[in-house]
Amino acid sequence: MELIVVESPTKARMIEKFLGGKYKVLSSMGHIRDLPTHSMGVDIENGFDPDYEIIRGKKKILREIEKQARQAERLYLAMDEDREGEAIGWHLLESLSLKKVEKKPGRIVFHEVTAEAVQNALKAPREIDSNLVNAQQARRILDRIVGYRISPLLSKRIRRGLSAGRVQSAGLRMIVEREKERAKFVPREYYTVEGRVDLRGTPAEASLWGCGGKKIKKFDLGTKEQAQEVVDKCLNEPLTVKDIKQDEKKNSPPPPFITSTLQQDAYNRLKYTPARTMKIAQQLYEGVDLADGSSAGLITYMRTDSVKISAQAVDRIRKYIKENLGDPYLPGRANAYRSKKTAQEAHECIRPTDVFRTPESVSGSLTREQGELYRLIWERFAACQMRPAIIDRVKVKLDCSGYEFRISGQTVKFDGYMKIWKTSVTETVIPPVSAGDVFRWMELCANHHQTKPPARFTPATLVSELEKNGIGRPSTYATILNTLFRRKYISSESGSLLPQEIGVVVTEALEKHFEQIVNYEFTAGMESRLDEIAAGRQDWKEMLKEFYEGFEERFRLASSQMEMIKDEKTSEECPECGSDMVIRWGRNGRFMACSAYPGCRKTFNIDENGEKVKEPGTDMKCPACSKPLVVKTGRYG
């Protein structure tokens, strides 16, 4: 019997089903050991040596793995092929007492939980990649240093329970800066002139383009009077066709999903948060029991920034397109996509493990959420290897009293990839016209517009912005958002992300005293250096030393210079004891409290202006003193 250890119990169950009786498969349930919970656990003076300890509750799991490993003919570590997976395997080996067992553990990797992928991996075991492990250790220690040093300082100077993080704080800054841009935004008015033209019984939308051959820019019609002047000159005058342009536009299919684009489209199309998307994707990756009695992982590994597709997967999807959609939808050769320079090319894109396993064929075996996400992934992958859509476009230029108006139309000539990946294309049919044709207005009016402030981030647009700035990696996008919500630094309103007052205060304190931590370029640079460590081109302890030297100097200055947020005085008196009421910071933001605390515990909720919020009354009486009961907002709502 040979032993395989994976990080997930679902994955363990699936693999044991594939491999029959020759292998025993156990789960480590994630990491076996980590830095200690109640101390920094990093010996900075001695080369940043970490002091790892077995995670609480994992000793029993470790003993079982060790027992089975001693009995097994060979041990295989089959964690995910990324830094975290490599580190889980390494930590497990370091924790096992296998010194006297002459069996060299094998590290195996696969991108999909299928029988074929696992069996192929077992034929090519390798050693633990120390570079990947060191990159994970460097990231973990970096985050520990930042969090363990800055968080207590914020808690002491601003409010208890606050935290800072190397990546989360940069993400928070983005949300705070966007809100400040919105607050400073001054709207600007402008007008457009638009109307409907009767094209031989077919109404067509026409809009003003220019005058005298010169384009009218956005703010050229800045007042209603200017726009109305154009309307008055043109409304009762004929329109003469000057020119007609017709062309074809090819809409290329989108690339297959990577982590960030999956999270964005799952939010935009299904309204799934990044965390929810990754949870469902994890289930699809680790495997499900299908109605025909078989079991399989339905998608490839879902934490990836590469659009690479295996040759085998390309052959399968091209075969599917040919058999089910026909030759018109199949390109002459496979579509190729290019990943970012920083992408981990060892990984594939996120795709179905077998494209012939259609969403319809597995719908009875999946939950509603699993089915929706699988369909999204399947359709995107199938579409990426189809022909472009072809759009017929026509543009008609018309003259009216020296002003140039334009009518645009488009129709889908060939749907191509849009047959599967539904994309909104508004079709507008323009009847045949010729140069010199004359038409009349059905209506013409001046329309008022106002510039809008930059939109607040949604979970999807924040992930896009993090990726664009090189902040975080595929495995961290969902975690960043979750942390900001958990710390109550941000909230959600109609799908938009809003910074809370405490989030703004923390960001401003970090910008002033730890600019390095919230600096986008610096944060992205650190990610690049971690990539260099993973590639074996950078020494991890040397990188930590360079970071710490500058960080510790800033920390010493901040410790002496960061202002204490003091209670704000008010003109209110405590109705219970007559002492002054003050405004303090709490877990849910600011509130009004009696200055005689803890002798008097009277408090009031306040609004954003510091005014008392009237507490809603009830029809109930206090059973102890018979005074009216009111509804209050507490720590848990």
**Are 208 and 403 in contact, with CB atoms under 8 Å apart?**
yes
pLDDT single digits (tens) 364-385: 999 999 999 999 999 999 999 9
Helix, strand, coil shares, percent, the chain, to 5 = 40, 25, 40
**191, 301, 329, 417: which is the annotated catalytic residue?**
301
Q: Mention every residue, 6+ apart, whose C-beta is less than 8 A from residue 348.
A: 111, 300, 301, 304, 306, 308, 309, 310, 313
Position 572, amino acid: E
State the Cα–Cα distance between residues 383 and 203, nearest whole angstrom. 35
**Is residue 633's pLDDT more than 70?**
no
Where residue 334 falls among pLDDT bands split at 50, 70, 90?
A: very high
Mean pLDDT value across residues 400-429:
95
pLDDT at 442: 96
Q: pLDDT over 90 for what percent of the chain? A: 78
Where residue 295 falls among pLDDT bands split at 50, 70, 90?
A: confident
Q: Both tokens of residue 341?
A: 């320079």
Helix, coil or strand: residue 323: helix
Where residue 634 falls among pLDDT bands split at 50, 70, 90?
A: low
Look at strands 589-594 and 490-493 and give their pairing.
Answer: unpaired
131, 137, 140, 146 alpha-carbon torsion, rounded to 10°: -100
State the Cα–Cα distance between residues 510 and 263, nearest whole angstrom. 29
Of 35, 9, 255, 64, give the one whose Cα is nearest residue 143. 35
Q: pLDDT over 70 for what percent of the chain? A: 96
pLDDT single digits (tens) 447-503: 999 999 999 999 999 999 999 999 988 889 999 999 999 988 999 999 999 998 889
**Is residue 571's pLDDT more than 60?**
yes
**Is residue 339's pLDDT more than 90?**
no
**Is residue 400's pLDDT more than 70?**
yes
Where residue 196 falls among pLDDT bands split at 50, 70, 90?
A: very high
**Are 101 and 69 in contact, with CB atoms under 8 Å apart?**
yes
pLDDT at 231: 97
- Choose between 586 and 1: higher pLDDT: 1
pLDDT at 587: 65
pLDDT single digits (tens) 518-561: 999 999 999 999 999 999 999 999 999 999 999 999 999 999 99
**Distances from the Cα of 89 to the Cα of 7, 16, 77, angstroms:** 9, 19, 6
The most confident of the ranges 383-397, 425-439, 616-630 is 383-397
State the Cα–Cα distance between residues 44 and 425, nearest whole angstrom. 59
Position 106, amino acid: G
pLDDT at 100: 47
Find the DSSP H helices in 168-273: 168-184, 224-234, 259-270
pLDDT at 102: 52
DSSP-derived secondary structure letter, 100? T
Q: Both tokens of residue 2?
A: 């040979």
Mean pLDDT value across residues 340-363:
87
**Is residue 513's pLDDT more than 60?**
yes
pLDDT at 627: 86
Average pLDDT, the chain: 92
Where residue 590 falls among pLDDT bands split at 50, 70, 90?
A: confident
301 catalytic residue (yes or no): yes
Where residue 589 falls among pLDDT bands split at 50, 70, 90?
A: confident
**Is residue 202's pLDDT more than 50?**
yes
| Main-chain phi, psi angles of 12, to 5 degrees | -60, -45
**Distances from the Cα of 210 to the Cα of 198, 397, 400, angstroms:** 21, 11, 11
